Homo-oligomer: A and B are copies of this chain.
Amino acid sequence: MDRIGENMYSWAKDLFPINRSITGPGVRETLDYLSRLIPDLRILSIPTGTKVFDWVVPDEWSVRDAYIADEKGERIIDFKKNNLHLVGYSEAIDIWLELDELEPFLYSIPTQPDAIPYITSYYKKRWGFCISHNERQALPVGRYHVFIDSDLKPGVLNYGEVVLPGHESNEVLLSTYICHPSLANNELSGPVVTTALVQWLKGLKNRRYTYRICFIPETIGSLVYLSCNAKHMKEKTIAGFILTCVGDNRTYSLMPSRKGGTLADRVANYVLDTEVKEYVQYSFLDRGSDERQYCSPLIDLPVVSVMRTKYGKYPEYHTSLDNMELISPEGLFGGFSVNQKCIIVLEHNYKYIVTLIGEPKMDKRGLRSSLGATKKLDKSVKEMMDFYMYCDGETDLLQISQITGINFFRCAEIADNFSEMGLVERTGR
């Protein structure tokens, strides 16, 4: 695992306390932190009120303080202790209420009495506090001072972008979101794993594809991003991965693209089948992240998510229990590894065509015994000959791997050897 898992975990620890939302200073602070890890990360902004398809970029939100205090002035619920206490996008208020008047503004989960829920109201003005059900039930009758010092006013929506050029102008998309406050698996795991992937990609020799990586707020951010780049992305994207819920250490999961069967799906299934073996294959009907935008009919990108435990499928999801103890260096490294493997497979997944009719003469190249008619070929020679037989210019390495049962990376190795010997040639994508 070398240092990568530890690094990712420590980045997540640094970022965890920040009060992120779809706009505001928490997003900028997060992007600033990431730009120290990815020096060429461009931080972009789009103003409040901009129409993006069916949506409009909302006001920018910032919070200085927020609490509920009792009659003695003691803060019973304090945003500064846990930013989940405040409903996201709460407007300012300063009011005294009786407990029964306060109740409609409190959110808790009776079935998870220790957890603070995560609630937002981006597009309707509201205020509210989230609280554990135990705390809620212990609130004595009385008067409470509700105080929120927040702003909701025209500003910008920020996002980060980095494009790493490759030999080919065809692109691989990596997209993750930076709008969740103190939540760990969903969603600091995505940004830190993506950051580690970018660092690795920058060092990748002979990068084949161009990589487009974006750090955006979920939903409105992917819509903003599409509104700026849809035509280009539709033309160039050959595969894409949404990085979300890649930090716990329980299982692996795959969210397919809208109709399945794209290159991204094939690669993801191959990597999970061979590297992980047991994982949960979801249906697109289970979708819930930015594939809702990237895979929507008019854009329909080949985008999947290779996750650890999927959002909505673990009990801590969208509560204060999705914290730094839920994720781990090992969990993050697992999430990193499967997505990295997908990229490596993509980079090597060429089609080859043989250069001559018939089998190559293997013994003259030292690849086979010159003693004929023995009963069985070496496994290694057998793999080479099987590989060769499907280099027909139409079958890509992933498909050859599936037809022959030869591991993909072994196929890629044979392909390299055979290319050097002039026995096969790469064909167009």
Residues of chain A touching chain B, judged by Cβ–Cβ distance below 8 Å, are 52-55, 88, 118-124, 126, 219, 222-223, 226-227, 230, 258, 284-285, 287, 292-293, 295-300, 312, 317-318, 353-354, 356-361, 363-364, 370-376, 385-386, 388-393, 404-405, 423
Q: Which of B222, B299, B371 contacts A119 (CB 8 A)?
A: B371
- In the bound complex, do residue B54 and residue A297 qualify as a contact, i.e. CB atoms below 8 Å apart? no
Give the residues in chain B near A317, CB-CB below 8 Å: 375
Closest Cβ–Cβ distance, residue A90 to chain B (whole Å): 12
Closest Cβ–Cβ distance, residue A32 to chain B (whole Å): 25
Residue of B nearest to A362 (CB): B54
Q: Which of B357, B375, B393 contacts A296 (CB 8 A)?
A: B357
Closest Cβ–Cβ distance, residue A51 to chain B (whole Å): 11
Given contacts A120-B373, A298-B354, could you give 14 more A-B pairs where the C-beta distance is less than 8 Å?
Answer: A119-B372, A120-B372, A121-B371, A124-B363, A222-B358, A285-B386, A285-B405, A293-B359, A296-B354, A296-B389, A297-B389, A299-B358, A300-B392, A312-B375
Total copies of this chain within the assembly: 3
Going nearest first, the 5 A-B pairs with the smallest beta carbon separation are: A124-B370, A297-B392, A120-B372, A293-B358, A53-B356
Q: Assuming A297-B391, A392-B300, is B55 touching A358 (CB within 8 A)?
A: yes
Closest Cβ–Cβ distance, residue A335 to chain B (whole Å): 22
Closest Cβ–Cβ distance, residue A386 to chain B (whole Å): 6
- In the bound complex, do residue A359 and residue B391 qualify as a contact, i.e. CB atoms below 8 Å apart? no
Residue of B nearest to A291 (CB): B389
User: Considering the chains assembled together, what is the distance between the CA atoms of A312 and B421 in angstroms?
Assistant: 30
Q: Assuming A317-B375, A375-B317, is B353 touching A297 (CB within 8 A)?
A: yes
Closest Cβ–Cβ distance, residue A395 to chain B (whole Å): 9
Closest Cβ–Cβ distance, residue A188 to chain B (whole Å): 16
Q: Which of B53, B122, B353 contacts A372 (CB 8 A)?
A: B122
- In the bound complex, do residue B359 and residue A296 qualify as a contact, i.e. CB atoms below 8 Å apart? yes
Q: Which of B55, B297, B363 contacts A390 (CB 8 A)?
A: B297
Give the residues in chain B near A393, CB-CB below 8 Å: 297
Give the residues in chain B near A297, CB-CB below 8 Å: 353-354, 388-393
Residue among A55, A123, A317, A357 with max Cβ neighbours from chain B (10 Å): A357
Closest Cβ–Cβ distance, residue A302 to chain B (whole Å): 14
Give the residues in chain B near A53, CB-CB below 8 Å: 356-358
